[in-house]
């Protein structure tokens, strides 16, 4: 395990020296990049589910259920997945605002 940690520490130190940047800033930028990539992936997942049912949000999908435009039988799991995707995307957006 120590063999893995040492190169990571050395890489941080090298980056800090090369770019004259503090390690914390590099970590923050890395986190931002990761969150933006995850957000992009969530948008793709959301688009695929929403397109399948002709909706744009889980709220619209829920309205379709109430209006009997959509059967819960074959779409219930996708509804919950879409709702989960939207909640995670909201959390990521909040985290990005804080960074």
Give the position of tokens 């744009």.
56
pTM, two decimal places: 0.75
Residue 87 has, within 13 A of its CA and on its CB side, a CA count of 6
How confident is residue 25, by pLDDT bands cut at 50, 70 and 90? confident
- What sign has the CA pseudo-torsion 55, 86, 81, 61? negative
Structural tokens at position 44? 């793709």
pLDDT over 70, % of the chain: 88
Q: Which residue has the higher pLDDT, 39 or 13?
A: 39
Q: Domain containing 70: what range?
A: 2-98
Q: How far apart are CA 20 and CA 30, in angstroms?
A: 16
Q: How many structural domains compose the chain?
A: 1
Question: What length is written for the chain?
Answer: 99
Q: How far apart are CA 76 and CA 65, in angstroms?
A: 10
Read off the pLDDT of residues 46-72 as tens digits, 9 standing for 90 and up.
999 999 999 999 999 999 999 999 999
């Amino acid at each position: 395990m120590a063999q893995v940690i040492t190169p990571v520490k050395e890489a941080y130190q090298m980056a800090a020296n090369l770019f004259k940047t503090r390690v914390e800033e590099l970590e923050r930028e890395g986190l931002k990049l990761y969150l933006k990539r995850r957000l992009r992936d969530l948008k793709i997942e959301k688009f695929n589910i929403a397109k399948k049912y002709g909706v744009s949000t889980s709220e619209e999908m829920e309205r379709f259920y109430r209006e009997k435009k959509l059967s819960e039988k074959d779409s219930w799991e996708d509804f919950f997945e879409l709702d989960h995707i939207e909640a995670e995307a909201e959390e990521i957006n909040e985290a990005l605002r804080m960074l």
